[in-house]
Amino acid sequence: MNRRMGFGLCLLGLVLAGWLALSGSSIGQEQDPDSLSRRDFMRMKLNYTQNILEGLTTRDFGLIISGAEEVERITQAEAWNSNDFADYQKISEELRSVAQHLKKAGQKSNLEAAALRYFELTMKCMDCHQYLRKADF
């Protein structure tokens, strides 16, 4: 195994450990994001990102792609865009961009790139949650 692949697998393991620590109940994917409470909405987003992680660990590029598409879609929902703060909007745009790049990596069946994009996606989620806690939203 080369050094890059080892780094990617190590990184994926760290992300997996973090998600396992944070995981909880999830909501079915059939629900309309605009009709959910903020808490349920975030659980739905968590479910989609867990699907991406499952796709990464099983090399199921369909799960990676569909999870990234759902994350991208959810960032366009009314409930997601209920905050008009410029910093929030910037983080949201960055998250959407990372989801798009993650989808492209999945479409190319590039597991290493998808794993790195997934890590970026996770960091954007953490940035947003940290911002919202500071803003007392």
**Phi, psi (rounded to 5 degrees) for 36:** -95, 155
Contact 79, 33 (CB under 8 A): yes
Domain boundaries defined on the chain: 3-134
Residue 113 has a pLDDT of 97
Residue 112 has a pLDDT of 97
Residue 4 has a pLDDT of 62
Question: What is this structure's pTM?
Answer: 0.69
> Per the structure block, which two tokens stand in for 114?
């998808």
Q: How far apart are CA 69 and CA 62, in angstroms?
A: 10
Class of domain 3-134: mainly alpha
Q: How far apart are CA 33 and CA 9, in angstroms?
A: 32
Contact 48, 122 (CB under 8 A): no
> Chunked in runs of 10, what are the mean pLDDT values of the chain (137 residues)?
55 47 42 60 87 97 96 78 74 91 98 97 90 77
Residue 26 has a pLDDT of 40
Residue 67 has a pLDDT of 96
Question: Which three-class secondary structure string do you get for 29-76?
Answer: CCCCHHHCCHHHHHHHHHHHHHHHHHHHHHCCHHHHHHHHHHHHHHCC
